[in-house]
Structure 1
Amino acid sequence: MTSKRIMDIEVLRAIAVLGVLFHHLQGSLFTDPVPLLEQIHGWAQPWWGVDLFFAISGFVIARSLIPTLQGCTTRQEYWQETRNFWLRRAFRLLPSAWLWLALMLLACVFLNRSGAFGTLAANLQATLAGVLQYANFRFADSFFHYEYGSSFVYWSLALEEQFYLLFPLLILLFRRNLVWALLALVAVQILTVRTPLLMVVRTDALALGVLLAMWSVQPSYQRWQPTFLRRPWAGISALIAIGLLLSFMATDRFTFASYRIGSIAVLSAVLVWIASYNRDYLMPAGTVQRLLAWVGSRSYGIYLIHIPAYQLVRELIFRLQNAGLPSPAGHPIVTLLLAFGLIVLLSELNYRFIEMPMRNRGAALVKRLGTSRTAVPSSGATSC
């Protein structure tokens, strides 16, 4: 299975993270009500970007991991490949995650005159939850009960890390029945009312992404290719229509609230299905695609950085106001530009100096471990 980057997948990553950024504007960047934002949120909520991320993760991980693990001929080889997968994921995700946990904690101590970063006690507990990968359970427990801390977005990262840890074991446990196990997982969740706890362990979008990856190697997958989207503007129109539908379903105006998350998971999987053919159905090649692909490639860092960036801008505005200096307070557009500029700068630095170097180190470590195991004695040596 090819590991080549799919441009439409990068476009979806960009849309997902931009939706999350927009969703967190009210409350994280703007503490006072912004009438326009309130009006938009009444008709469209973009928090479904998290579920789109889940569907993408399930597809991208499974399309390479399942063939690799199913191709193992011995139990030892299976666990070696599982170890390699876990190492690559750890080097890819944990350095950036831990860095921004530490920076948020430092900001809470040294850059928090306004209180934008929350209390030290809450952030200490949130940092521990982020490092130990139980942030989703803490998030559910704190929901409308107590302050979580600045790193509340880590709940979804914890859920994905738990998925990465358990998925190889799931493949080993169910083997040829994996499809049925995943379908059952999706069906049960779609038919279940989501409590706060069930919301932070929702895996239907992840499972649908995995199922899509498994289907992509079957002959029927090509027969179902949506070739009609090659027509001019057809793919973009489909992307906009599905995005608007998802945004409406995420609001309280959607009357079938019990089936909201399951429906969002299914539509997210539909977008990933269209993107998976790597035919630029959703966004034709051009300037817009390249711009969105840049955002998509930095989406992990953007997701980690946007909340501390919002809070840092709030702290800056507070200090400027107290010093009697001109500030962006009362000018939402200027505040937005300042926050987004900071996010772009910090995410690019994070990508260049943390994400890519650590990803390469992880790949190099896996390669060294593989080389050491496959090394053979020289021709003059005798075997024991």
Structure 2
Amino acid sequence: MSGKRIMDIEVLRAIAVLGVLFHHLQGSLFTDAVPLLTQIHAWAQPWWGVDLFFAISGFVIARSLIPALQDCASRQELWQQTRNFWLRRAFRLLPSAWLWLALMLLACLFVNRSGAFGTLSANLQATLAGVFQYANFRFADSFFRYEYGSSFVYWSLALEEQFYLLFPLLIVLCRKHLVWVLLALVAVQVFTMRTPLLMVVRTDALALGVLLAMWSGQPGYQRWRPEVLSRPWLGIGALILIAALLSFMATDRFTFAWYRIGSIAVLSAVLVWIASYDRNYLMPAGALQRLLGWIGSRSYGIYLIHIPVYQLVRELIFRLQSAGLPSPAGHPVLTLLIAFGLIVLLSELNYRLVEMPMRNRGAAMLQRLGTARSAAPASGATSC
């Protein structure tokens, strides 16, 4: 399967991260209720962006990893492919994640006159949870019980990284039965009431993304191509309609709450399915697609950065008010512009100075490992 960048997937990443940014405005950026946000949240909640991320991750990872592992002819080759996958993921995700954990901890110590970054004790424990990949379990335990810390969004990163660790092993162990195992995993979660613990180990969207990737390698996949969405505005209309439905389902007005998360996972997978054909069904080529593509390519950094930026802006407002200077307090639009401007700047710097250099370093390491392996037999033959 191709590892080519799919623009519709980047568009979905952008929509997912923008939804999360909007969801966290109330409480993380604005501590006092903003009437317009309150009215919007009553009818539309965009936290489903996290589940969309899960479905995208399952699809993108599986479409390259499953064929790579299935083509292995020996246990040694299987181990090498698995190790290479883990190394790529580590170089892709951990440097940025650990950098922003450290910066949040430093902010809690030195830029926290207002208390916006929370207590040192909570942030120390949250940092440990983020580094050692159990943030989702700490998040479930803290739910409405105690302060988590500034890095609470790391719960979803921990879940994804647990998936990255275990998924190759699942492929090897289940082999031809992988489809049935994943279907069972989805079915059990769809019909189970989600406790706080089950909310932070929700793997139904991830499993659906994997199933979609497996299906995309079958001949029948192309027969189901939604060609009707290539007509002007129908693709964008479908995207807006599904996003609106997901936003409504995420509110308390959705009466079938028992099935909420499972239903959101299924609709997220539908969006990824439409995007997977790489036909620009959801967003035609143009300026808007390029803008969303930029946001999508920086979505990981944006996700990590937006909470500390929201808290930093609150700290700035507090200090300006304490000094009797003009501040954006009372001007939500100005506050938003400052916060979003910082997010754009810092995510671009993170992408250029951390994400891409570390990806390239990981790729270079894998290339050296591959060269060393290919050179070993030749060296041995010479010595004989």
TM tier relative to shorter chain: over 0.9
Shift of 1:378: 5.5
Amino acid at match of 2:57: S
Alignment partners' CA distance in 1, 2:108 and 2:280: 43
**Match of 1:208?**
208
**Match of 1:269?**
269
Matches within 5 A, 1:226-237: 226-237=226-237
In structure 2, runs of 5+ residues without a counterpart are none
**Match of 1:290?**
290
Matches within 5 A, 1:17-56: 17-56=17-56
Alignment partners' CA distance in 2, 1:85 and 1:362: 11
**Match of 1:148?**
148
Alignment partners' CA distance in 2, 1:380 and 1:370: 18
Q: Does structure 1 residue 279 correspond to structure 2 residue 279?
A: yes
Q: 1:74 to 1:41 in 2, by over 3 A?
A: same
In structure 1, runs of 5+ residues without a counterpart are none
Matches within 5 A, 1:179-190: 179-190=179-190
Alignment partners' CA distance in 2, 1:275 and 1:368: 35
Shift of 1:80: 0.6
Shift of 1:374: 1.1
Q: Deviations over 1:198-236 (max 9, x none)?
A: 000000000000000000010110000000001100000
Amino acid at match of 1:381: T
Shift of 1:381: 1.6
TM-score, normalisation: structure 1: 0.99
Q: Deviations over 1:2-57 (max 9, x none)?
A: 11100000000000000000000000000000000000000000000000000000
**Match of 2:367?**
367
**Match of 1:192?**
192
Amino acid at match of 1:153: V
- After superposition, the CA RMSD in angstroms is 0.8
Amino acid at match of 2:14: A
**Match of 2:102?**
102
Alignment partners' CA distance in 2, 1:127 and 1:51: 23
Alignment partners' CA distance in 1, 2:205 and 2:168: 18
Shift of 1:370: 1.2
Q: Deviations over 1:337-370 (max 9, x none)?
A: 0000000000000000000000111111111111
* Secondary structure, counterpart of 1:47 in structure 2: helix
Alignment partners' CA distance in 1, 2:138 and 2:244: 31
* Secondary structure, counterpart of 2:46 in structure 1: coil
Alignment partners' CA distance in 2, 1:3 and 1:369: 21
Q: Deviations over 1:248-285 (max 9, x none)?
A: 00000000000000000000000000000000000000
Q: Does structure 1 residue 303 correspond to structure 2 residue 274?
A: no
Matches within 5 A, 1:304-383: 304-375=304-375, 376-377=377-378, 381-383=382-384
**Match of 2:123?**
123
Shift of 1:379: 9.9
Shift of 1:377: 2.3
Q: Does structure 1 residue 241 correspond to structure 2 residue 236?
A: no
Amino acid at match of 1:36: L
Amino acid at match of 2:338: L
Shift of 1:306: 0.0
**Match of 1:2?**
2
Alignment partners' CA distance in 1, 2:86 and 2:175: 19
Q: Deviations over 1:282-335 (max 9, x none)?
A: 000000000000000000000000000000000000000000000000000000
Alignment partners' CA distance in 1, 2:276 and 2:357: 27
Alignment partners' CA distance in 1, 2:361 and 2:336: 36
Alignment partners' CA distance in 1, 2:256 and 2:294: 36
**Match of 1:134?**
134
Amino acid at match of 1:237: G
Amino acid at match of 2:73: T
Q: Deviations over 1:67-100 (max 9, x none)?
A: 0000001011101100000000000000000000
Shift of 1:124: 0.2
Alignment partners' CA distance in 2, 1:322 and 1:176: 65
Amino acid at match of 2:75: R
Q: 1:321 to 1:178 in 2, by over 3 A?
A: same
**Match of 2:173?**
173
- After the TM superposition, which parts of structure 1 deviate over 6 Å for at least 4 consecutive aligned residues? none
Q: Kindly tell me the number of residue pairs found equivalent between the two proteins.
A: 383
Bigger CA drift: 103-112 or 370-379? 370-379
Shift of 1:371: 1.1
Percent of aligned pairs with the same amino acid: 84
* Secondary structure, counterpart of 1:377 in structure 2: helix
**Match of 2:224?**
224
* Secondary structure, counterpart of 2:37 in structure 1: helix
Alignment partners' CA distance in 2, 1:164 and 1:227: 33
Shift of 1:148: 0.1
Q: Does structure 1 residue 12 correspond to structure 2 residue 50?
A: no
* Secondary structure, counterpart of 1:117 in structure 2: coil
Alignment partners' CA distance in 2, 1:308 and 1:168: 33
Q: 1:81 to 1:323 in 2, by over 3 A?
A: same
Amino acid at match of 1:365: M
Shift of 1:380: 7.8
Shift of 1:382: 3.9
* Secondary structure, counterpart of 1:144 in structure 2: coil
